[in-house]
Amino acid sequence: MEDLKKVLIELEEYLFLPEVRGSSIELAQLISDDFIEIGASGLRFGKANVLRRLPNEVAPEIIASNYELRMLGSDCAQLLYKAKMSKAEQPSPVYSHRCSIWRQNSRTQWQMIYHQGTICAPF
């Protein structure tokens, strides 16, 4: 399970990179077609919205810690962690508890199917 945890952390942090967030092709490969995100605003987004929105945004700096992995099935895992996100246009960072669910598809590739970030007190 430690090997899978390492793989999923690498995939999660790969999605933090500005060049990945700016690439619809990269995002389309990492995010499942049935992807759902519930943002800090409480709004719900699908894959199409993410592919339109992220490449046009200035990528924030995200520092993640305290990763936990929970297996939800043989091909499905939940990654929980804390994140500190800094944006150039915001005077102070935003802290959040985050949850991503990753599913292994038929080609043995892991794709994110769900993501949620809930704002919390600084840690």
Q: What is the pTM of this model?
A: 0.93
pLDDT, one tens digit per residue, over 14-30 is 999 999 999 999 999 99
Closest Cα partner for 48 from 28, 19, 22, 29? Answer: 28
- First-residue to last-residue Cα distance in the chain: 27
Beta bridge partners of 84: 63, 95
What are the structural domains, with CATH classification, of the chain? 2-119 (3.10.450.50)
Tokens describing residue 17:
């990179």
Q: Which amino acid is at 68?
A: E
pLDDT tens readout for residues 44-96: 999 999 999 999 999 999 999 999 999 999 999 999 999 999 998 888 999 99
Kind of pairing between the strands at 31-38 and 94-104: unpaired
